[in-house]
Structure 1
Amino acid sequence: MSFPDTAPFGRRRFLAASAGAALAATALPGCAASVDDDTNSGGGDKTLTILSGQNEMDAKTIKAAEAALGVKVRLIESDPTKLNAMLAAKNPPDLVRAQGATETPFYAARGVMADLDPYFAKSEVLKVSDLDPVNDVWRFDGEKQGTGPRYGMTKDYSQDSMFWYRTDMFEAAKLDLPSDTDPLSCDEWLDLGKRLVKRRLGKVKVYGLNIQALGSVFLPMMGMTASAGGRVFAEDLASVDFSSPEALKALQWYMEYARADIGPNVVNPNPDGWDWPTYQAGRMAMAGDGYWFGGSIGAEAKVAAVSRFAPAPQLGSTRVSPCFSASGYWIPKDAKNKDLAWKFFEWYFGGQPATDRASSGWGIPTLKSLRPKMPQSTAFQKQAFQVQEQELAHFSVLTCSPYALTTSLDAVINKVLPGAIKSGTSAGKVADQLNSGMNELLAKGKAALQ
């Protein structure tokens, strides 16, 4: 079986690559495909170039940044092809929006990220002692994520294996509500999903649950494997092993979930594209989304009245509750305005924007001093806050490999699993296929860095 040619670049190849190279399809997960829609906005004499999405770096935010920093902000819509071209030309943006949890090892290993430790050491706004532990996903020492130089910072985050559920659907099915403190086992979670799903004429009318809210299958399985006491990546991060007892158990669980067709999966994805429209319309009983999802729920009083938050289900006895995103920004090593980019860091991560985000319910603030700003005025907000506070004790960093982006590994899953799900292929054979495809990518990535 052949697999998608999405192997990552080595340091030299990465910097010399053309914009159309294979990495472009997977470098920045979830980014738009267009590379032509640059947005320029008026401001001061200096220009700060930011690669980000307009949904996050909107006109209001740009205007506020220009006023606060006395600069002109040039927004480039997030696009991996354009980023690669700019890095290759040694003319990168001043700031790059990325997923710290999954992308830091990849870019750090290629030497394109600026070490921000000297900036943090001098800052009166962003003090290392005030940083939430999630910011450690932006650290990489060449072998392990979570230690070493600090390359970026998270704007806000969630523990992405937690889930929201609708009490009205549980009550209609005469099911007990999940505990606020004790996590369900993954098997209990799956059983609830099977009981809560509703079908009409053989098609799903109401999903029982969704476990792949971030669009990835690899990441939830990595988390499940960790909770079972194992790991998907080898110690040197150069290979995966889905044949290990713990990883195979996670794979078997996902295949049962997909074959039961009780939620969005690799065979039948959610046509809505993401959970909120589905959940809001009463067509999803349990949504595997982190705390951030409460920002949408809290804005709809009727939905909030029947919604509650729950701890991350566990596949085994090693309780973990990781973050799979940690969206934020990094500064390229070759950026022309690193000092100005750092001023943006201090304003965006430690100034009014950070305070506004903390009080919005759209994520956990990444400065510990801002945590009291999290909304707690309604019964819905209080329940979510209390559950989230208890869950923080179980946060952990799950190291990703520097040799391939998780989007590349998910591409292998998306090639192998649909046919295997439909044909009834055993989990053992699927594990062998995943190992073959992913390890080929990882080997190419490792060779390219040597």
Structure 2
Amino acid sequence: MSNLTMSRRFRLATGSLAVAGTALVLASCSSGASDPGTSGDSGASGDEPVTVTVMYKSSEFTEDMIAAYEAEHPNVTIEFIEYDETRLNAMMTAGDPPDIVRSGPNSNLFAKGLATNLDEYIAASDVLTEEDLLPANDAWRYDGTTRGQGSYYGIIKDWSPDATIWQNEALFEGTGVEPLDTTEPISWDELLEKAIALKDSGVEYPLGLEWGWGITNLLQTMIVQQGGAVYNDDLSEATLETPEAERAIQWLIDYGKSGVGVTSLNPLPDGQDAPTFIAGDMAMTMDGYWFGGNLQADEATTVAETTTMAPAPTFGERVSPIFGGVGAYIPSGSDDPAAAWDVLEYFMGGEPAAERAQTGWGLPILESLWEELPSEQPYQEQAKEAALVEAEYVKPLPDSPYVQLSQWDQIVDAEITAGIKGEKDAAQVASSIQEQMNTLLAQGKDQLG
């Protein structure tokens, strides 16, 4: 369980950032995408020897998967490279990138032209079709300006509506606090009120937000739900001196001051909510569908019996964000993008994708694979149905090509912490974050050219 959970933690914390860092330093990379052709022309389907180089994590793209693919495609050799950002930088700079690269979606990658346009491959595919791809994969779309619309540049491996809330209903009993509705989203304000009431009733940890993994996504979600903007129109400046941003910041400050959950001022020793929730000491944790995988452990049997998953909270519009969206892309400098697509199609939509779905550690990006999700236990069936509804409200969060999420997280955490300590009010926090981010955005824009 711990290895799987930590793998997920890595994905949330770094998955969407890795290639962004790479792309920022490649000022002279080719921006032209390879001619996609059609998947029917793939060298993987012919007789000539083909080598497809895959840079991924071996815990995700396993030796067994490679062996199974090569058995079906005797002319293809998959050359596997363990994901390493330094090595990826060197390969990209040398003009000899891998054919498939693990990454999270980000505008910098797309703006640099480092990823192959997959539109024609998807149009010709019987496996990864536009009709079957869930809206979550829109995070890998880009129209030349905005992430979330336009052409496809990658495919998500698995995903989760990450602001959904798992609740141990047993901890609500005898408190006078009603558990969350499992079909209708609660407001952020009502959620905090419930958490405070649970705290007053003796629950040690009423609400976990996985604070240590970064809270920028939560801040941006709250702003977007109110109809507010995070950036100006050309994504070159942050716009946080607004009522929407200040309301979101105030909520995070109030959460920290209330003591209902973990912040940077009082972190959990494990660095994540799962052990505390499984021990029966946390009433609610804001984690996506994937978190249910923790409940399969023997030590979680009792808690699993009283656990359900509720929709992401809202400040108006129902937006259910994904914080990772990690998957893969085919670099525009790939030697054989058609053969690479064939391997990508197998990994994202073939037997490996079905097997991943069966584990319950994430949602498949293809709706047709949802029948593979585990449903033996009541919590699994309930979470599966709730996630399918939640998928309708998935929307990519704002993303500028000029900064990385890690830069946001560092600044947001420091400033919100100052607010919790009473050193600044919400308006001052908003102004400080905006000023610091605009400095970084200007630097990033100069680097991108």
TM range (shorter): 0.7 to 0.9
Matched, 1:79 2:84: yes
User: Paired residue for 1:90?
Assistant: 95
- Report the secondary structure of 2:149's partner residue: strand
Letter in structure 2 aligned against 1:49: T
User: Paired residue for 2:14?
Assistant: none
Following TM superposition, by how much is the alpha carbon of 1:332 offset from its aligned partner in structure 2, in angstroms? Answer: 1.0
Kindly indicate whether the alpha-carbon contact (under 8 Å) linking 2:24 and 2:108 is maintained by their aligned counterparts in 1.
no
Q: 1:276 aligns with which of 274, 293, 301?
A: 274
Kindly indicate whether the alpha-carbon contact (under 8 Å) linking 1:15 and 1:88 is maintained by their aligned counterparts in 2.
no
Following TM superposition, by how much is the alpha carbon of 1:148 offset from its aligned partner in structure 2, in angstroms? Answer: 2.1
CA pair 377-232 structure 1, distance change in 2 beyond 3 A = same
Equivalences for residues 124-273 of structure 1 within 5 A: 124-197=126-199, 206-212=204-210, 215-273=213-271
Segment drifting more, 338-347 vs 435-444? 338-347
Distance 1:125 1:416 in 2: 46
Segment drifting more, 212-221 vs 428-437? 212-221
Following TM superposition, by how much is the alpha carbon of 1:198 offset from its aligned partner in structure 2, in angstroms? Answer: 8.6
Letter in structure 2 aligned against 1:115: N
Segment drifting more, 332-341 vs 8-17? 8-17
CA pair 66-283 structure 1, distance change in 2 beyond 3 A = farther
1:29-65 alpha-carbon deviations (Å, 9 max, x no partner): xxxxxxxxxxxxxxx9754332222332344444444
Distance 1:350 1:307 in 2: 30
CA pair 115-296 structure 1, distance change in 2 beyond 3 A = same
Q: Which runs of 5+ in 1 are unaligned?
A: 1-5, 18-43
Distance 1:12 1:257 in 2: 35
Matched, 1:14 2:26: yes
User: Paired residue for 2:447?
Assistant: 448
CA pair 221-113 structure 1, distance change in 2 beyond 3 A = same
Following TM superposition, by how much is the alpha carbon of 1:259 offset from its aligned partner in structure 2, in angstroms? Answer: 2.5
Q: 2:56 aligns with which of 52, 56, 62?
A: 52
User: Paired residue for 2:4?
Assistant: none
Following TM superposition, by how much is the alpha carbon of 1:10 offset from its aligned partner in structure 2, in angstroms? Answer: 10
Kindly indicate whether the alpha-carbon contact (under 8 Å) linking 2:321 and 2:397 is maintained by their aligned counterparts in 1.
yes
User: Paired residue for 1:122?
Assistant: 124
When the two chains are superposed, the root-mean-square deviation of aligned CA atoms in Å is 2.7
Kindly indicate whether the alpha-carbon contact (under 8 Å) linking 2:212 and 2:263 is maintained by their aligned counterparts in 1.
no
Kindly indicate whether the alpha-carbon contact (under 8 Å) linking 1:98 and 1:330 is maintained by their aligned counterparts in 2.
yes
Kindly indicate whether the alpha-carbon contact (under 8 Å) linking 1:347 and 1:353 is maintained by their aligned counterparts in 2.
yes
User: Paired residue for 1:359?
Assistant: 358
Distance 2:73 2:278 in 1: 39
CA pair 58-13 structure 1, distance change in 2 beyond 3 A = closer
Kindly indicate whether the alpha-carbon contact (under 8 Å) linking 2:23 and 2:109 is maintained by their aligned counterparts in 1.
no
User: Paired residue for 2:345?
Assistant: 346
Equivalences for residues 409-428 of structure 1 within 5 A: 409-428=408-427
Distance 1:404 1:121 in 2: 32
Letter in structure 1 aligned against 2:403: A
Following TM superposition, by how much is the alpha carbon of 1:13 offset from its aligned partner in structure 2, in angstroms? Answer: 4.8
Distance 2:363 2:417 in 1: 35
Letter in structure 2 aligned against 1:430: V
Count of aligned pairs: 410
1:419-443 alpha-carbon deviations (Å, 9 max, x no partner): 4433431111111110011111111
Kindly indicate whether the alpha-carbon contact (under 8 Å) linking 1:9 and 1:448 is maintained by their aligned counterparts in 2.
no
Q: TM-score when scaled to structure 1?
A: 0.83
Letter in structure 2 aligned against 1:342: W
Kindly indicate whether the alpha-carbon contact (under 8 Å) linking 1:86 and 1:93 is maintained by their aligned counterparts in 2.
yes
Following TM superposition, by how much is the alpha carbon of 1:334 offset from its aligned partner in structure 2, in angstroms? Answer: 1.3
User: Paired residue for 2:384?
Assistant: 385
Distance 2:109 2:326 in 1: 15
Kindly indicate whether the alpha-carbon contact (under 8 Å) linking 1:213 and 1:289 is maintained by their aligned counterparts in 2.
no
CA pair 56-268 structure 1, distance change in 2 beyond 3 A = farther
Distance 2:301 2:422 in 1: 44
Segment drifting more, 238-247 vs 56-65? 56-65
User: Paired residue for 1:301?
Assistant: 301
Letter in structure 1 aligned against 2:177: L
Letter in structure 1 aligned against 2:307: S
